[in-house]
Amino acid sequence: MAMFYDLSQRRVLIDAIISETIMSAYKTLIYSITNSRFILYDMKEKTQQVSEKYILDAITTVLSNYIAETDPYVLFNGLLDVLLEITGSEYGFIGEVFYTNEGSPFVKSYATTNIAWSKDTNRLYEDNKRKGMVFSRPNSLYGAVLTTGQLVISNQPSTDPRSGGLPKGHPPLNAFMGLPFYGGGKLLGMVGVANNENGYHKSIAEDLHPFLITCGNLIQAYRNNQKHELVVAELCKYKERFSLNKTPVLLGSGYELKKSPTSMTKNGKPVLLTKKELLLLEILVTSYNLPVSYLSIEKHVWNGVITGDSSLRSLVRRLRLKLPELSIKVSPGIGYMLILTE
């Protein structure tokens, strides 16, 4: 029976997930740019005024920003600039969808064009541009996107029954298009653009599909990163308590993992393990019954030194030979897991 904190069985394998998500986003965009047409739309002529190279360069920059800093303000402002350019829009926003305790959806924007029309609204924008403007009116055009989860186009907002009107002094809204984006079958966020001088058409939304996939991938990656930071903080607290607790960890089959210094015994007799074997066992015990990513193991055991896959496989093989009654399983594509039963 394992006698230590379980972390509520919620370990987030962010090292593997982040890399996979970003590569997926990048491949999606490369494919779409190669096989589709991104167009700055003039609804009368539909002339292609933005080159594919421009789109590729812009998206590559955004993804590079993600890898460098994971700051959603930087990420989505870069995407918003691209979105406004390719749709010929005056202003817009990109945001993530959240829900109130009552289940009502609202948007927290990560990028919003500054359309402040007074000192007060400009102050509101400046105070909230980095932490996110909140849009929560259901009786609005963007609210129609949130409540239906569908594309909303309005080329006559002033007479559209879905529109709840504009605040006094708000710049003119002559045309609007709102597009939701999804991930894992769930509504993750939406984009909204306004005032293409010739209005919007469904064909624009169709060509923006790869762009929306990228927004969804980045939102998911950002959420995973936030969860990772919480889990890391939890693990740090656990390890501190674990190091202070002098009670040996019981692993079953007579095995005990002792501390200060770290050592292993079976039925009270020492089991000789190398330093790296003990470090591997320690991190597996920390997250027993949950997979530990290859990268996390490498950081813990080799202290950040780059090693080959064969080194880790060899280390696991030696540990299994020395502790044959312990069950160390492979999680394909993720890492290793120590299975302990009550």
Question: pLDDT tens track of the chain, all 342 residues?
Answer: 333 333 333 333 334 444 444 445 444 444 444 444 444 444 444 433 344 555 555 555 655 555 555 567 777 887 888 889 888 999 999 999 999 999 999 999 888 888 766 676 667 667 666 667 888 899 999 999 999 999 999 999 999 999 988 877 778 899 999 999 998 889 999 999 999 999 999 988 888 887 888 788 888 877 777 666 665 665 565 556 556 556 778 888 889 888 778 888 999 899 999 999 998 998 888 778 888 888 778 878 887 676 778 899 999 999 999 999 999 999 887 889 999 875
Question: According to CATH, what is the number of the domain 246-339?
Answer: 1.10.10.10
Spatial distance between the Cα atoms of 142 and 162, rounded to a whole number of angstroms: 9
User: Would you state the pLDDT for residue 95?
Assistant: 93
Spatial distance between the Cα atoms of 123 and 154, rounded to a whole number of angstroms: 29
Q: Which residue has the tokens 């069950």?
A: 327
Residue extent(s) of CATH 1.10.10.10 domains in the chain: 246-339
Q: Which residue has the tokens 């700055």?
A: 40
Residue extent(s) of CATH 3.30.450.40 domains in the chain: 14-226
User: Would you state the pLDDT for residue 122?
Assistant: 67
Domain 14-226 in CATH 3.30.450.40? The answer is yes
Q: State the pTM of this model.
A: 0.56
335-339: strand order across its sheet: 292-293, 335-339, 327-331
H-helix segments, 36-107? 52-69, 72-87
Q: Side-chain half-sphere of 223: how many Cα atoms within 13 Å?
A: 13
Buried b (16+ CB within 10 A) or exposed e, 154-180: beebeebebbeeeeeeeeebbbbbbbb
Spatial distance between the Cα atoms of 137 and 146, rounded to a whole number of angstroms: 10
Q: Side-chain half-sphere of 5: how many Cα atoms within 13 Å?
A: 14
Q: Which residue has the tokens 């005056």?
A: 90
- Phi and psi torsions of 136, nearest 5°: -135, 15
CB-CB contact of 28 with 213 (8 Å): yes
Spatial distance between the Cα atoms of 205 and 207, rounded to a whole number of angstroms: 5
- DSSP category for residue 138: S
CB-CB contact of 38 with 29 (8 Å): no
H-helix segments, 36-51? none
